[in-house]
Amino acid sequence: MLTRVRNHYLESLDVMEVVRRACAEIMQEHGCGHTECVYEKLLSQYLYEKCVPFLTQVDCFIQKSDTQVHVGRIDMEIAHNTILELKVGAKVRLQDMEQLRKYVYAKRACGMNVKNAAVICFTTSGKVEIVQLQNRI
């Protein structure tokens, strides 16, 4: 018999608040200068320790007639309702937001209830910039 265990930590906090705290802690402990892959692994470890369900490097498709077309690879999907695109650079760019919009569109077309979507940039100046798509995503 399968029993579903409730994650009270996740229920008591907004997913994006968990992500904000995680990113701030990661930047404070590890600083800037790492690759996107390193930050993804550090964020994954934080979520794992908090028992927050997540997937990394999720292939994303859209349906065109009878064919699935690969749109890209989502960096992180959290709690079945949040999409994150991670970046390292000076700031979040317009093309980063467009990439995220493309993923949101594709996941919604497949039936996912996307509540949160954000680009997270671990900046070269040692700050974390988080830009969320608005509720109209």
What pLDDT does 136 receive? 53
Residue ranges of domains in the chain, CATH in brackets:
9-132 (3.40.1350)
What pLDDT does 8 receive? 52
Instruction: Indicate left, alpha or beta for 66 from its phi (over 0: left) and psi (-120 to 50: alpha).
Output: alpha
pTM: 0.85
Task: Per-residue pLDDT tens, the chain, 137 aa: give them.
Answer: 444 445 555 554 589 999 999 999 999 999 999 999 999 999 999 999 999 999 999 999 988 888 888 989 999 999 989 999 999 999 999 999 999 999 999 999 888 899 999 999 999 999 999 999 975 55
What pLDDT does 34 receive? 96
What pLDDT does 3 receive? 41
Tell me the residue type at 61. F
Cβ count near 135 (within 10 Å): 7
As a residue count, the chain comes to 137
CB-side neighbour CA atoms (13 Å) of 42: 21
Tell me the residue type at 15. V
What b/e readout covers 1-25, taking b as 16+ CB neighbours within 10 angstroms?
Answer: eeeeeeeeebeeeebbebbbebbee
